[in-house]
Structures are given as C-alpha cells and as structure tokens.
Amino acid sequence: MVEYNLDCLGEACPVPLMKTEKKMGELNVGDVLVVAIDHSCAMKNVPEWARKQGHNVEIEEVDDGEWEIVIEKTK
C-alpha cells in the first residue's frame, strides 16, 4: 500500500474531480489517495464519484472549510 497526496486547495469544480479521477487511474489496488479540498462542491462530488466507483472513502475536516478525502482503491 502506498499513500499519495493530491492538493486541490483553491480549485473549484470540476478540477478536483478531474484530477482525482486521473490520479486514481494511476494507482494500484490497495493504494490510498488523500485529496485536500476547500470547495464545497468538490466536497460533495469527489466522495460521491469515488463511492460509485466502488472505492472506500473517508472524509476528515482538517480545518474550517478544508477537508481531506481519503480514497482507498479497491479495484
């Protein structure tokens, strides 16, 4: 398992989702991607997309209006 970080702070939809999709395609099963976001639209869209793809998703608010979305690639 390898953990990768993706900084999407200051970026609005659909950029964080597009970056997340691209990066997830490069990961191996079992790898984890931590996406840092501060945009409420991405906060909804990124985890929703990841769950639809069948990945494990956890969301952690690290600061007021700033989140880390932890996505474990499952397939």
Region at 64 (left for phi over 0; alpha for psi -120 to 50; beta for the rest):
beta
Q: Which are the catalytic amino acids?
A: 13
The Cα–Cα gap between 36 and 14 comes to 14
